[in-house]
Structure 1
Amino acid sequence: MTGAGGTTAAVRLIRAGGDIPVDTSRVPAREAARDELSDPMYHEHDPNLLERGLDRFWDWVGDLFAGAAGAAPGGPLGLVVLVLVIVGLGAALWWRLGTPRGTAHLAETLFGDTARSAADHRATAAAHAEGRRWTEAVQERMRALVRSLEDRAVLGPRPGRTADEAAAEAGQLMPAHADRLRAAARVFDEVTYGGRAADESAYLTLRTLDLDLEATKPSPAITGAAGDAAG
């Protein structure tokens, strides 16, 4: 018979010779698992680079809004109200000022290449006003105003004159209307080069100024001094 010691030794021999896994150290086991998981079959449904980038972006946006909501008065609801207020202000500014343009053409001339009389410009302005095209009506009325001053010899004809230059020259000869002339030139520049939409009030103001200038005679002393300086 075999004693307890012999039985134990036999069991050890059987286990050593049988198909029973033995302990493996951690490093080889980790490498074996990495090799196994590197098989492409395990990554067929993984998100691509773009999807991973989008996931990280939205995670960042979520963290940003979460942080802003925590800092905003009223929490998430307060943040929503704040965003709506900002969007509303932006929309109001866009509606009031019009679409901004990248470049302001400050050196553009008032009349361009086409020579027309003051009466022609006034008729065109009236037609635009009747059609409620206030921007075009303001532009044509300003041209009529300056052309009328040239026809009356208040201003000498000068190619390339801008609205600002015409207003400054006429304001020296008609100082009582100098401020209104500068304001009219500023409105013309804003609607012509700044992308701002004119309204009925702007047109009526400019039409009234045009009529007032028609009834105003420049000071002879000032006119003579201006003529001498020009000569």
Structure 2
Amino acid sequence: MTVTGGTAGDVPVGVPRVPAQEAAERELSKPMYHENDPNLLQRGIDRFWDWVGDLFDSAAGAAPGGVVGLVTVVLVVLALAAALWWRLGTPRRAPAVGQDSLFADGPRTADHHRSAAEHHASAGRWNQAVQERMRAIVRSLEERTLLDPRPGRTADEAAAEAGRSLPAHADGLRTAARSFDDVTYGGRTADENAYRRIAQLDTALERAKPALRPAGAGTAFTQAPR
């Protein structure tokens, strides 16, 4: 680059291009030239809105009718959402059940739980089969008044209470409750043997005949000889 002086008689001064560019960059890098520049946060916000604008433009280009068509689609979706909200109302949570509650759904008979257990077993769904068979055991004991029906009872609590009435099966009840907890809360997987053990316990408990102790000996039940 050639720079000439201010008068006709001055001798031209030659300035190389690269040093001149570096000198200009140094001059422009001075704080006085950037006092009104946006800060980092503002630059980020500007880039975000630029991205939103590009996204909106792309959507408008793809929608029939351009921007007008896109706005129409958005309004229709909002209207449908409002209609559904008005029709269905605010979602409500179901009544809370104890975290370890044995029965997660409404009351069902022991036979219903046994039927569900066998259905799951026939399909190889051993986790569900174990759960339903344990529920069948507890419901059966409630139906026979060996256990008082109590919402929120856990499998461990049911096994402990039933074991006091039927001490000969206390160990089996504890094992069955542990299997139920393992597959329900422990993330473990049951197998056919685990289910068959609980099914055999269910059958044995059906045959167990509680008998009252002699008068004056209390009201606890004991298992009558088979």
Task: Give CA deviations for 1:135-162 in whole Å, capped at 9, x if unaligned.
Answer: 0000000000000000011111111110
Shift of 1:218: 2.2
- State the Cα deviation string for residues 60-98 of structure 1 (Å, max 9, x = none): xxxxxxxxxxxxxxxxxxxxxxxxxxxxxxxxxxxxxxx
In the aligned structure 1, how far is the partner of 2:150 from the partner of 2:116?
22
1:125 correspondence with 2:124: no
Q: Which amino acid aligns with 1:125?
A: A
Mapped contact 2:138–2:158 kept (Cα < 8 A): yes
Task: Give the residue type in structure 1 aligned to 2:137.
Answer: L
Going by fraction, where is helix more abundant, 1 or 2? 1
Out of 122, 135, 139, the position equivalent to 2:127 is 135
Q: Superposition pairs for residues 1-231 of structure 1, below 5 Å?
A: 107-221=99-213, 224-225=219-220
Matches of 1:162 and 1:218, distance apart in 2: 23
Matched position secondary structure for 1:183 = helix
Q: Deviations for 1:35-61, whole angstroms, at most 9, x for unmatched residues? A: xxxxxxxxxxxxxxxxxxxxxxxxxxx
Q: Give the paired residue count.
A: 121
Unaligned runs of 5+ in 1: 1-105, 227-231
The TM-score with structure 1 as length reference comes to 0.50
Report SS of the residue matched to 2:111. Answer: helix
Deviation of 1:107 (Å): 4.5
Structure 1 or 2: more strand by fraction: 2
- Extract unaligned runs of 5+ from structure 2: 1-97, 222-226
Specify the structure having the higher radius of gyration (Cα). 1
Structure 1: how far apart are the matches of 2:218 and 2:159?
Answer: 15
Q: Where does residue 12 of structure 2 map in the other structure? A: none
Counterpart amino acid of 1:209? L
Letter in 1 for 2:170: A
For residue 185 of structure 2, what is the amino acid of its counterpart?
Answer: Y
What RMSD, in angstroms, separates the aligned Cα atoms of the two structures? 1.8
Deviations 1:107-154 (A, max 9, x none): 510012411100000000000000000000000000000000000111
Report the CA distance between 1:176 and its aligned residue. 0.4
One-letter amino acid matched to 2:110:
A
**Structure 1 residues 129 and 153: CA distance shift in structure 2, 3 A:** same
Q: TM-score, normalised by structure 2?
A: 0.51
- Partners of 2:117 and 2:128 within 8 A in 1: yes
8 Å contact 2:165–2:220 — kept in the other structure?
no
CA contact (8 A) 1:173 1:223 kept: no
> Bigger relative contact order, structure 1 or 2, given CA contacts below 8 A and separation 6+?
1
